Amino acid sequence: MPAMSQHTLDFWFEFASTYCYPAAMRIAPLAAAAGVTVRWRPFLLGPIFKAQGWDTSPFNIYPDKGRYMWRDLERLCAALDLPFKRPDRFPQGSLLAARVATVGLDEAWGEDFVRAVYRAEFGEGRVISEPTVIGELLAGLGVDPATTLAQAQSDVTKVKLRAQTEDAQRLGIFGAPSFVVNGELFWGNDRLEQALAWTTRPAL
Amino acid sequence: MPAMSQHTLDFWFEFASTYCYPAAMRIAPLAAAAGVTVRWRPFLLGPIFKAQGWDTSPFNIYPDKGRYMWRDLERLCAALDLPFKRPDRFPQGSLLAARVATVGLDEAWGEDFVRAVYRAEFGEGRVISEPTVIGELLAGLGVDPATTLAQAQSDVTKVKLRAQTEDAQRLGIFGAPSFVVNGELFWGNDRLEQALAWTTRPAL
């Protein structure tokens, strides 16, 4: 095994986050090319936003910023050749998807599931808080929906996801996507390349 | 004159803004290489932030975000080989510098002055709200400080800068740096290259 494969990047994502969509679609090939192992870490921004005094997305609280974000995302998806459809609801309830991802990332289908959720949500404008939608996505990956949804709602999974969110808070994560490399935090889809490069860079 | 020189980009900057520093240092050579004419447009974020309910920088309101921003700026400056020194005060009063820039951009020394202010502020940690500091920077450019500071405080200049800030608000600008190309808004130092490319791109 080459030495570079020891390099690891933590990819912190939240299913309600728009900019996680391009990040989730881009990360695997870029990391593979850079010889970096990615740890996919779902978490919830809700508690973190609440601690900042927000009860919804800042893109809703600040309309100019929100309008800009949707246009920016549209341009970004066009440049990356990703489908884009603005969902009617924003932000969407992401708890169920995050719990299912927590299950899947311990199995072989986790990363595919994450990409499928983002594609459904921001590529097709679908409602990812609906168990039927999540079930469909699971079935599309050859994963049994009933068993998996039950496992996702188990105490083990709930506790795991909660611990993960607490980890994110401890790391000073305040938005998504975030990337952490050797304790160094990078925020935003724009920083993915820099974060990957950091795995081979000595500390500043 | 080649047709491409008709392409114009508006560069909206605020002297209190950290990410305007790398943008101001990068824009001239990148625009020249792309055959784009840049209109440098100083404005004030204060009234815009106030309308969003903020009485200081969001980097102060949200400490995790602030901590991250300073580290991110440090990394960015290192990568660009720009000097970096975090000023003791943040954000700094930027009104005087913006008024002087408004004067200078109608003359030959405006762009050099803008770069000198950002370098002093974030490269050397100096206090740019001080008239003596601004005076020194002007003298360094061979511009008479006394005459210029008087002109900067004239009603003509004040009205001009106020109108400029109102223009920014009308354009939906909510942060700095911002770039506008044919009515298309781009926010952040990270979007400079994309904004420049937009000058030759058909509408999405």
- Per-residue pLDDT band for B48 (boundaries 50, 70, 90) equals confident
Measured between beta carbons, the chain A residues lying within 8 angstroms of B186 are 72
CA distance B52 to chain A (A): 7
CA atoms within 13 A on the CB side of B190: 15
Q: Does A50 touch chain B (CB under 8 A)?
A: no
Contact between chains at B204 and A72 (C-beta distance less than 8 A): no
Cis peptide bond N-terminal to B91, omega within 30: yes
Contact between chains at B75 and A187 (C-beta distance less than 8 A): no
Contact between chains at A62 and B204 (C-beta distance less than 8 A): no
The Cα B134–Cα B104 span in angstroms is 12
Q: What is the 3-state secondary structure (H, E, C) of chain B?
A: CCHHHHCEEEEEECCCCCCHHHHHHHHHHHHHHHCCEEEEEECCCHHHHHHCCCCCCHHHHCHHHHHHHHHHHHHHHHHHCCCCCCCCCCCCCCHHHHHHHHHHCCCCCHHHHHHHHHHHHHHCCCCCCCHHHHHHHHHHCCCCHHHHHHHHCCHHHHHHHHHHHHHHHHCCCCCCCEEEECCEEEECHHHHHHHHHHCCCCCC
A24-73 residue pLDDT tens? 999 999 999 999 999 999 999 998 888 878 888 888 888 889 999 999 99
CA distance A172 to chain B (A): 6
Report the relative pairing of strands B37-42 and A8-13 from DSSP bridges: unpaired
Contact between chains at B67 and A190 (C-beta distance less than 8 A): no
The predicted structure's pLDDT at residue B5: 43
Structural tokens at position A204? 């500043």
CA distance B7 to chain A (A): 20
- Other beta carbons less than 10 A from residue A101's beta carbon: 26
- Per-residue pLDDT band for B1 (boundaries 50, 70, 90) equals very low
* Interface confidence (ipTM) of the complex: 0.90
Q: Taking the model in full, what pTM does it have?
A: 0.92
